[in-house]
Chains A and B, each alone.
Chain A
């Protein structure tokens, strides 16, 4: 019998599979399909200081092997998330990770302080990588100094471990990873979406109202694997890997590259049972390749 459990800072995961932020809401909708306690953990939709409406619609477009989205961090705001959404998630036997976003360092600090104090939250995923908002978000995720600064400040106020979510829209991912590690990050989460665009041939304009959107899905998996592979060699904090995961084989590939756990995003839209199906298939897939625990697989490509 293979052992699927893994312990990371603040997170005792019964298996390494979690729904990715923004692709699972606050869990309610998916609890109609299966018992959320089966999940390794749940990374919830981004929280900002105040309620945000986000971008105009259309907000999504299909692409070859993936999709673009420009939701624009729509969310009810941190206070409402704490009062209206977290109690429901607390009913499940699985750790909850809060995705924290903001336009200014002050906003990141405020959200992190508030949400890390709620009993349902086991860790923070610091979202310095959303490509779809005009202010903030992006530059924190592309400039190592700013990334380090916001990480340091959030670490100082957070009651729970902080995983910094990196943007792939940079030329040197390793220096970003090192900068946030030095600033005290407990872990990394990678990758967020790649900035992209699609045009409508009739209107000759972008399909997404925001113009650009973030590319997710199987199309970005090789990019994520490459980045995790390189970052793993240079940092000593654990990595939560994501980007285009659809199967248990994909999970194995992420673990071999150096991820300790994974998040499953947009494929939940295609198959609402995606996380459960992957978890169910994982033992047999590990077995097939001769593994009986996650520790044996993690970073296996580097040995």
Chain B
């Protein structure tokens, strides 16, 4: 169940250009968080809406969760000023995340783009703990935006692509996918909408899961701000990203 809590900032550092990692301590990490769930953060009282940020790692014993965020606008910019020892107003965990109990995968492919990479880290860790083989394909703008390559290396094979070719493959994550044909049975992807579209098209026929983004109001399922349409065969016609998602099967929603 979701809680609202003032969490302690245990650790806050820059890990790449415009990209920060924060470790938060409190009760929320002990509530059985699933990979793919998010926290809804009120940066400070100057803001009227919270910001949804994915949970990138959890340590239940220590009562901590890790987030990674990229500075995009005012809210994430103000977040960078928070210091170790400060408290942060957090609502979470939000959404459903990846359906860990239902997964039948033996060999998983993680495909992350930019700031969509963080939730795949916690997912990858849990998959590896269950003895599942993990390959990761990570895409970034350029070399200085890369983060968590080391952490993904600990999970299995990693392929990195940069848009400008300053590191790894020159191009997009989708360029790498054909070479991995036959080496996985299920894919898990999070990143910008254009990337998710391209990935789901490229990997038609595979079992897959996409984590999608939308601007949110409440973040708890009450305001209908964050809906995504479903195919015509679905009578309800929509899903709420904050409550039913943010993870969906590609055939469940219309991107």
Interfacial residues, chain A to chain B (CB-CB below 8 A): 22-25, 28-30, 32-33, 45, 51, 53-54, 57-63, 65-67, 69, 71, 74-76, 217-218, 266, 268-273
SS of A interface (majority)? loop
Given the known interface contacts A29-B243, A53-B237, A53-B238, the answer about A58 and B48 at a Cβ–Cβ threshold of 8 Å is no
* CB of A289, distance to nearest CB on chain B (Å): 24
Given the known interface contacts A32-B2, A33-B4, A57-B227, the answer about A268 and B222 at a Cβ–Cβ threshold of 8 Å is yes
Given the known interface contacts A67-B48, A270-B50, the answer about A23 and B222 at a Cβ–Cβ threshold of 8 Å is yes
Q: Which residues of A contact B220 (CB under 8 A)?
A: 29-30, 32, 272
A69 near B222 with CB under 8 A, answer: no
Chain A CB within 10 Å — which of B1, B2, B49 has the most? Answer: B49
- Chain A to chain B contacts (Cβ below 8 Å), 8 pairs: A25-B223, A29-B221, A29-B222, A30-B220, A32-B2, A57-B226, A75-B224, A266-B217
A62 near B4 with CB under 8 A, answer: no
CA distance A75 to B4 in the complex (A): 27
Q: Which residues of B contact A57 (CB under 8 A)?
A: 214-215, 225-228
**Is B42 on the interface with A (CB-CB < 8 A)?**
yes
The one of A45, A53, A69, A217 in contact with B229, judged by C-beta atoms closer than 8 angstroms, is A53
A270 near B222 with CB under 8 A, answer: no
Interfacial residues, chain B to chain A (CB-CB below 8 A): 1-2, 4, 42, 47-50, 91, 214-229, 236-238, 243
CA distance A25 to B228 in the complex (A): 17
A54 near B49 with CB under 8 A, answer: no
B45: nearest chain-A partner, CB-CB: A270
CA distance A155 to B218 in the complex (A): 33
A62 near B47 with CB under 8 A, answer: yes
The 8 residue pairs across chains A and B that have the minimum distance between CB atoms? A25-B222, A58-B215, A269-B218, A74-B224, A60-B225, A29-B220, A29-B222, A62-B49
* CB of A270, distance to nearest CB on chain B (Å): 6
Q: Which residues of A contact B91 (CB under 8 A)?
A: 272
* CB of B3, distance to nearest CB on chain A (Å): 8
Chain B CB within 10 Å — which of A75, A270, A271 has the most? Answer: A270
The one of B48, B215, B218 in contact with A217, judged by C-beta atoms closer than 8 angstroms, is B48
The one of B2, B214, B236, B238 in contact with A58, judged by C-beta atoms closer than 8 angstroms, is B214
CA distance A243 to B67 in the complex (A): 34
Given the known interface contacts A58-B214, A60-B49, A74-B238, the answer about A271 and B4 at a Cβ–Cβ threshold of 8 Å is yes
Not counting A74-B238, A269-B217, A270-B42, a sample of 18 additional A-B residue pairs whose C-beta atoms are within 8 angstroms of each other reads: A25-B222, A51-B237, A53-B229, A53-B238, A54-B224, A57-B214, A57-B227, A59-B215, A59-B226, A60-B225, A67-B48, A69-B217, A217-B48, A218-B48, A268-B222, A269-B50, A272-B4, A272-B91
Q: Which residues of A contact B237 (CB under 8 A)?
A: 51, 53
Q: Which residues of B contact A270 (CB under 8 A)?
A: 42, 48-50
Given the known interface contacts A29-B243, A273-B4, the answer about A65 and B48 at a Cβ–Cβ threshold of 8 Å is yes
Q: Which residues of B contact A271 (CB under 8 A)?
A: 4, 42
Q: Which residues of A contact B223 (CB under 8 A)?
A: 22-23, 25, 60, 69, 71, 269
Q: Which residues of B contact A76 (CB under 8 A)?
A: 236
CA distance A187 to B73 in the complex (A): 43
Q: Which residues of B contact A273 (CB under 8 A)?
A: 4
A66 near B48 with CB under 8 A, answer: yes
CA distance A74 to B49 in the complex (A): 21
CA distance A67 to B50 in the complex (A): 11
Given the known interface contacts A59-B225, A67-B217, A74-B224, the answer about A32 and B48 at a Cβ–Cβ threshold of 8 Å is no
B74: nearest chain-A partner, CB-CB: A62
Given the known interface contacts A23-B223, A54-B227, A67-B49, the answer about A61 and B217 at a Cβ–Cβ threshold of 8 Å is no
Chain B CB within 10 Å — which of A32, A59, A61 has the most? Answer: A59
CA distance A54 to B236 in the complex (A): 13
CA distance A217 to B227 in the complex (A): 22
CA distance A45 to B222 in the complex (A): 9
* CB of A269, distance to nearest CB on chain B (Å): 4
A268: nearest chain-B partner, CB-CB: B218
* CB of B99, distance to nearest CB on chain A (Å): 20
* CB of B33, distance to nearest CB on chain A (Å): 16
CA distance A25 to B242 in the complex (A): 13
Given the known interface contacts A71-B224, A74-B238, the answer about A60 and B215 at a Cβ–Cβ threshold of 8 Å is yes
* CB of A132, distance to nearest CB on chain B (Å): 11
CA distance A91 to B237 in the complex (A): 28
Q: Which residues of A contact B2 (CB under 8 A)?
A: 32-33, 272
* CB of A42, distance to nearest CB on chain B (Å): 12
Q: Which residues of A contact B224 (CB under 8 A)?
A: 22, 25, 45, 54, 59, 71, 74-75
B214 near A32 with CB under 8 A, answer: no
* CB of A284, distance to nearest CB on chain B (Å): 21
* CB of A25, distance to nearest CB on chain B (Å): 3
CA distance A22 to B237 in the complex (A): 19
A29 near B218 with CB under 8 A, answer: yes
Given the known interface contacts A53-B229, A53-B237, A270-B42, the answer about A30 and B48 at a Cβ–Cβ threshold of 8 Å is no
Q: Which residues of A contact B243 (CB under 8 A)?
A: 29
CA distance A54 to B223 in the complex (A): 12
A60 near B50 with CB under 8 A, answer: no
